[in-house]
Amino acid sequence: MTSNQLRRGVGIQAKMLAIILPLIAAPMLILAGVGFYTANREAANSNTRYLAQREADLRSLAENPGIRSYFNNAKYGLVEEAEIARQELQMSLARFIERSNSGGQIYSQARYLDHQGLEVAKAADSKVPNAATDVAVETFFDRVKTLKPDQTYLSPDAPLRVFAIPVHQRREGQPPAFMGAVALDFAYSLSEFQRTTSVILRTFAFSTAFGMGVALLLTVLRVRQFTNPIRRLADAANRIAGGERAIRVANDSHDEIGQLAGAFNGMAARLEADEDAIKRKIAETRTLYEVAQEISAQVHLEPTLKLIVERARHLLEAEVGLLALREGSADSFAVKAVSGSPGELAATLHVKTGEGLIGQVAASSQAVIVDDYLEEYPDSPFRQVIRESGLRSAVAVPLKVRDALTGVLLVTSPTRAKFNDADRELLSALADHASIAIENARLLEQARQHAEQLEARVEERTRELQEANRRIEQTSRHKSEFLANMSHELRTPLNAIIGFSEVLSDGILGDLQPKHQEYVQDIHSSGQHLLSLINDILDLSKVEAGRMELDVAKFDVGAAINNAITLVRERAARHGVKLNITVDEHLAPFAGDERKFKQILLNLLSNAVKFTRHNGDVSVSASATVDGIQVAVSDSGIGISPENQQAIFEAFHQVSTGG
């Protein structure tokens, strides 16, 4: 044996060991892991059950009625009754310690702590100490006070741990009252649990290592028996890869290696045939791709259908090709394209689902190969047509678009049993491309039809819009005429009212009493404000254009506020609403549109008076800020609900009067 062979043999052994050893080691490791996990989990469950028992004892002590009796008596100063309840509670804790520790030392002490952290009752090792200790400064009591009812506190892992639970007195309609806490100090064998886990881990580690060592030894011995046969197979494989198709591997073994040798021998015999088949498949695939590209390039339906049947017939070297499409949503199919010479009747067939070959494909949505149509379809209604056309064998495949059957593609030949499974697969592949091309052609035709309809509709809508524009222009003229007339009709009497109020105010017709003079000034101010509102309302061209110009000038904010108050004072008096004004006397003149300012303020004041109940208050304040002046209007009315506070700033939006 040469050095190359030795190195190659070692390589085979190493590879086999690399495959086999994980298969042996993995189950052993898994079993070891499962065993360790199970034992460890059982130890953890035992620890969990131990803590659960301690918690159950703690909750049982917390339900002692003596706690509530002591708390209530102490709360109301009943000293003697509280002392009796405390002694009973302490004796109950002592009995609990004695009973629990009868089988072994578990609890070192049990305590009831009042709401201030003072040990009211305490028992330890069957004894009842007299001295009370204040534990309010201990960490666990601070934690217990923050717990909700039924929650518990457990101190960190240690040989001696504390389990505590708060005690609350439930009160109807009020939060529970904290009466104190019950605490249990118990022994916790953490080191024993850790020692048990360590022993389990070492035991399973040793068992696993020993088992894996024995398995490794046996595996190496067995692998050596397979080295020579595998090496011979490797040499044979290299020679086959080098082109020696006639190579054979001699092996009289009947195991898997012998079967592998037989497979090698068969592989060499089939390789030449497979190469020829692959070359033929490549040629068919290339041809199919070219045909698919040619079909996909078509944009009209009829040329697309014609091209599909011609290419299908030439691709399978058939005599006749037919393509039948579903007629609308009915269960019938009509031949839409023909290639070859099937006869006049065959080219005009209408087939229902289930009838003949086309009907069978339509019913099953599966490709079908027919070796002899006259023998396989003796009851077909198209038997006479097929006999006259001289057709015998055929292959038909469904045309599908999004899993919906749209048609059937069929090629036929006068030769019996001409087509095989490879022909069926080739025609099915062509059918997939054909289905997409047919659907695209249909969609393009529909798009053209929709475009024509849309164009007609656009022309119709254009005429309608022109007529609507004409009507809008006419309406706009009527509106302008109406606004002009209304402007004149409103301003004329309003100017007369303002003029008469000025005459009366100037005393031309005689002096007025102070109260009358005040009313006349109110009439004049209201008339001026109403005239400005009419000017704003009638200036629709600015509103429609989204533009409202401001007349900016400096004005006295206090005077503007007093003017607005004057306009709502009478209404407030009728509603019994008190008006309060607070204006900073150091306010400087403000630059803005005084008319708009008064209009906004008047709207706010009107709403405030409107929605304020009798004997309510409406207040107006003005003060200087860093950025300018702040004016606020407040009232004791129903206010505006939070969900409507942002909506009131939207254009033409009004909230309900409910708040």
CA 313/CA 372 separation, integer angstroms: 18
Beta 160-171 vs 153-154: how paired, if at all?
antiparallel
Residue 501 burial (C-beta neighbours within 10 Å; 0-12, 13-18, 19+) = buried
Give tens-digit pLDDT for 394-449.
888 888 877 788 888 888 888 888 888 888 888 888 888 777 877 777 777 777 77
Over residues 600-607, mean pLDDT: 85
CA 374/CA 370 separation, integer angstroms: 10
CA 398/CA 406 separation, integer angstroms: 8
pLDDT for residue 538 is more than 70: no
pLDDT for residue 543 is more than 70: no
Where residue 224 falls among pLDDT bands split at 50, 70, 90? low
For the range 218-225, what are the long-range contacts, defined as Cβ-Cβ under 8 Å and sequence gap of 24 or more? 219/17, 219/20, 219/21, 219/24, 220/13, 220/17, 223/13, 223/16, 223/17, 223/20, 224/13
Angle between helices 190-224 and 3-62 (to 10 degrees): 160
Over residues 2-8, mean pLDDT: 45
Across 29-38, 308-317, 506-515, which has the greatest mean pLDDT? 308-317
Whether 161 contacts 185, CB under 8 Å: yes
CA 416 to chain centre: 60
CA 659/CA 657 separation, integer angstroms: 6
Over residues 108-120, mean pLDDT: 87
User: Within 10 A of 481 (CB to CB), how many other CB atoms are there?
Assistant: 10
Distances (CA, A) of 225 to 12, 229, 231, 464: 12, 8, 11, 96
Show the tokens assigned to 400: 């599908």
Q: Angle at the Cα of 103 (from 99 to 106), degrees rounded to 5?
A: 75
pLDDT for residue 44 is more than 80: no
Show the tokens assigned to 45: 């469950």
Please choose, from the candidates 431, 441, 427, 394, the residue with its C-alpha nearest in 3D space to the C-alpha of residue 413. Answer: 394
CA 153/CA 185 separation, integer angstroms: 12
Give tens-digit pLDDT for 358-392.
888 888 888 888 888 888 888 777 777 777 777 88
CA 111/CA 126 separation, integer angstroms: 13
Distances (CA, A) of 231 to 16, 138, 309: 12, 78, 56
What is the pLDDT at residue 7? 45
Please choose, from the candidates 13, 9, 106, the residue with its C-alpha nearest in 3D space to the C-alpha of residue 56. Answer: 106
What is the pLDDT at residue 401? 79
pLDDT for residue 546 is more than 80: no
Place of tokens 């061209």: 541
DSSP state of 511: -
Give tens-digit pLDDT for 198-212.
777 777 777 777 777
- Predicted model pTM: 0.33
Write the DSSP string, 371-405.
S-HHHH-TT-TTHHHHHHHT--EEEEEEEEETTEE
Distances (CA, A) of 525 to 86, 499, 581, 602: 83, 12, 19, 12
Show the tokens assigned to 623: 């003060």
What is the pLDDT at residue 190? 66
Distances (CA, A) of 276 to 202, 268, 373: 64, 14, 31
DSSP state of 512: -
CA 69/CA 309 separation, integer angstroms: 100
What is the pLDDT at residue 545? 47
pLDDT for residue 240 is more than 80: no
94: CB partners within 8 A, 6+ apart: 123, 126, 127, 128
- In the chain, the percentage of residues whose pLDDT exceeds 90 is 1
- Helix (H), strand (E) counts: the chain: 16, 16
Q: For 609-645, b where at least 16 C-beta lie within 10 A, e where not — what string?
A: bebbeeebebebebeeeeeebebebebbbeeeeeeee
Sheet holding 617-624, edge to edge: 578-583, 617-624, 629-635
CA 349/CA 338 separation, integer angstroms: 11
Sheet holding 332-339, edge to edge: 350-352, 332-339, 320-326, 404-413, 393-401, 368-370
What is the pLDDT at residue 659? 42
CA 454 to chain centre: 39
Where residue 166 falls among pLDDT bands split at 50, 70, 90? very high
Diameter over CA atoms, the chain: 147
Whether 321 contacts 410, CB under 8 Å: yes
pLDDT for residue 8 is more than 60: no
What is the overall mean pLDDT for the chain?
77
Whether 135 contacts 117, CB under 8 Å: yes
Show the tokens assigned to 106: 């578990």
Give tens-digit pLDDT for 51-65.
898 889 889 888 888
Over residues 120-131, mean pLDDT: 67
Show the tokens assigned to 424: 């069926």
Show the tokens assigned to 190: 């953490």
